[in-house]
């Protein structure tokens, strides 16, 4: 028999125990950490284990056998893996540079108040919210051989006697630029936004002081504004680069890795290896390797973010 008085007392004691600071503070932490442990850590250990086996998913798992570092050697000696990795960095780098330049320029034009400012800002932000897959689809419509791009170009092309119905996406370099431009179209809005808030936070006194001391507009820009904007620039680079290295969605809809492997990013390459060719142990080894390679980048990126965040907050407090 359970004594009701005792059990309520026990319950009250439990609640009080939960309410203690040293317990209460840990409740959400334990839940989230347990969740991550179950959902991310165990799969990762499993991946390391599978990467040491030789196994393809079209065979039963029981027939897999231990292969040591065989899959790792295979990944490292696969030329396409390195090409895909290099291509990813090339796409991400080019796209991020273009985004930074355009975003910076636009923010510079918009940050002072003038009529229509809010309108422009709202419009410039729209691409960021468009679903990436849809952005890829949109650009595939534009690059189609009888699409609007060719129509706009046709007067020039016909002048030189070229058939205006160019198949942009069948040419490797053009297809690569198509992927890059789709990314630029979508994410310039983010760099624009970051720089806009950077520009709006510029302290007016410093600009005025420099002007009183006789600095020209360009001098003010280079020696006063740019150094103050450095945190915003670094934050934009880190955030955009980390996102751009994931590039997958637009490329699938736009080119599907083609022509050939010209637009195969690392995500697409691995997706094809694992989900189309069923090379599970290859994929596992590759993802372990990638995680190791990326972890350096990630930690450096986070280190930069932390540093610049402190600077930004200091500036805001002044």
Partner 1 sequence: MKKTLANSTKDISLVKRYNLFSYFRHLILLLWSSIVLFPIFWMISTSFKDSGDWVAWPPNWFPSFLGGGYEPTLHNYRQIFAFSSMGEELSREATDQAYTIWGALGDSASIASVSSLIALLLGTFLAYSISRFNVGGKNFRYIILTIRMVPPIVIAIPIVMYYAILIPYATDTLFQIRFSLFDSYIGLSLLYVATTLPFVIWMMLSFIDEVPYTLEHAARIMGSSRLYTLRRVVIPLVAPGMVVTFLFIFILNWSEFLLALTLTQPKVTTMPVLLNKFQSAVEGRLYGPQAAIGTIITIPVVILGVLIQKHLITGFSFGTIRK
Structure token pair of residue 197: 């808030």
The residue behind tokens 């039963």 is 60
Q: Which is nearer to partner 1, 1 or 129 (CB)?
A: 129
x-or-dash pattern for partner 1, window 60-99, by CB under 8 A? -x--------------------------------------
Q: Which is nearer to partner 1, 220 or 252 (CB)?
A: 252
CB of 305 to partner 1, least distance (A): 6
Helical residues (DSSP H) of the chain, grouped into ranges: 4-19, 21-24, 27-36, 42-51, 70-77, 79-110, 117-129, 132-143, 148-159, 172-200, 204-212, 217-219, 226-244, 249-254, 266-271, 280-317
Q: Which is nearer to partner 1, 219 or 295 (CB)?
A: 295
Answer for the pair 206, 226: CB distance below 8 angstroms, yes or no: no
CB of 1 to partner 1, least distance (A): 31
Report 221-260 residues binding partner 1 (CB under 8 A).
232, 235, 239, 242, 245-246, 248-249, 252-253, 256
Q: Is the previous residue joined to 259 through a cis bond, with omega within 30 degrees of 0?
A: yes
Size of the site for partner 1 (CB under 8 A): 100
Answer for the pair 142, 233: CB distance below 8 angstroms, yes or no: no
Is 305 an interacting residue with respect to partner 1 (CB under 8 A)? yes
Is 306 an interacting residue with respect to partner 1 (CB under 8 A)? yes
Answer for the pair 157, 163: CB distance below 8 angstroms, yes or no: yes
Distance, CA of 132 to CA of 268 (rounded, Å): 15
User: What three-state secondary structure class fits 216?
Assistant: coil
Is 284 an interacting residue with respect to partner 1 (CB under 8 A)? yes
Is 302 an interacting residue with respect to partner 1 (CB under 8 A)? yes
The residue behind tokens 């993802």 is 287
Q: Which is nearer to partner 1, 222 or 275 (CB)?
A: 275
Is 290 an interacting residue with respect to partner 1 (CB under 8 A)? yes
Report 168-227 residues binding partner 1 (CB under 8 A).
185, 189-190, 193-194, 197-198, 200
Report 112-151 residues binding partner 1 (CB under 8 A).
114, 116, 120-135, 137-139, 141-142, 144-148, 151
Q: Which residues contact 164 (CB under 8 A, 6 or more apart)?
A: 150, 151, 153, 154, 157, 158
Binding segment for partner 1 (CB under 8 A), chosen from 4-12, 66-74, 210-218, 282-290, is 282-290
Report 21-50 residues binding partner 1 (CB under 8 A).
21, 24-29, 31-32, 35-36, 39-40, 42-44, 46-47, 50
Q: Which residues contact 241 (CB under 8 A, 6 or more apart)?
A: 92, 93, 96, 301
């Amino acid at each position: 028999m359970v004594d009701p008085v005792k059990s309520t007392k026990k319950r009250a004691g439990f609640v009080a125990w939960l309410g203690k600071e040293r317990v209460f503070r840990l409740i959400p932490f334990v839940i989230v950490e347990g969740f991550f442990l179950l959902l991310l850590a165990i799969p990762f250990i499993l991946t390391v284990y599978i990467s040491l086996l030789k196994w393809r998913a079209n065979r039963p798992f029981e027939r897999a056998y231990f292969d040591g570092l065989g899959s790792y050697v295979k990944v490292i000696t696969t030329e396409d893996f390195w090409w895909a990795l290099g291509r990813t960095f090339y796409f991400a780098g080019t796209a991020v540079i273009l985004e930074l330049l355009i975003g910076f320029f636009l923010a510079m034009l918009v940050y002072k108040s003038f009529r229509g400012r809010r309108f422009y800002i709202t419009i410039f932000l729209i691409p960021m919210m468009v679903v990436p897959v849809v952005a890829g689809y949109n650009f595939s419509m534009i690059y189609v051989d009888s699409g609007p791009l060719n129509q706009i170009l046709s007067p020039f092309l016909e002048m030189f006697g070229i058939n205006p119905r160019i198949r942009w996406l069948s040419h490797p370099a053009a297809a690569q630029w198509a992927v890059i431009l789709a990314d630029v179209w979508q994410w310039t809005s983010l760099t624009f936004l970051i720089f806009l808030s950077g520009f709006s936070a510029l302290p007016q006194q410093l600009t005025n002081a420099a002007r009183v001391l006789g600095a020209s507009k360009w001098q003010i820009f280079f020696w006063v504004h740019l150094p103050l904007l450095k945190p915003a620039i670094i934050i934009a680079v880190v955030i955009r680069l980390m996102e751009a290295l994931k590039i997958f969605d637009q490329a699938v809809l736009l080119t599907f890795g083609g022509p050939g492997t010209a637009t195969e990013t690392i995500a697409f390459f691995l997706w094809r290896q694992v989900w189309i060719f069923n090379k599970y142990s290859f994929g596992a080894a590759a993802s372990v390797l990638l995680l190791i390679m990326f972890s350096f980048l990630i930690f450096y990126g986070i280190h930069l973010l932390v540093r610049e965040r402190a600077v930004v907050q200091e500036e805001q407090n002044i």
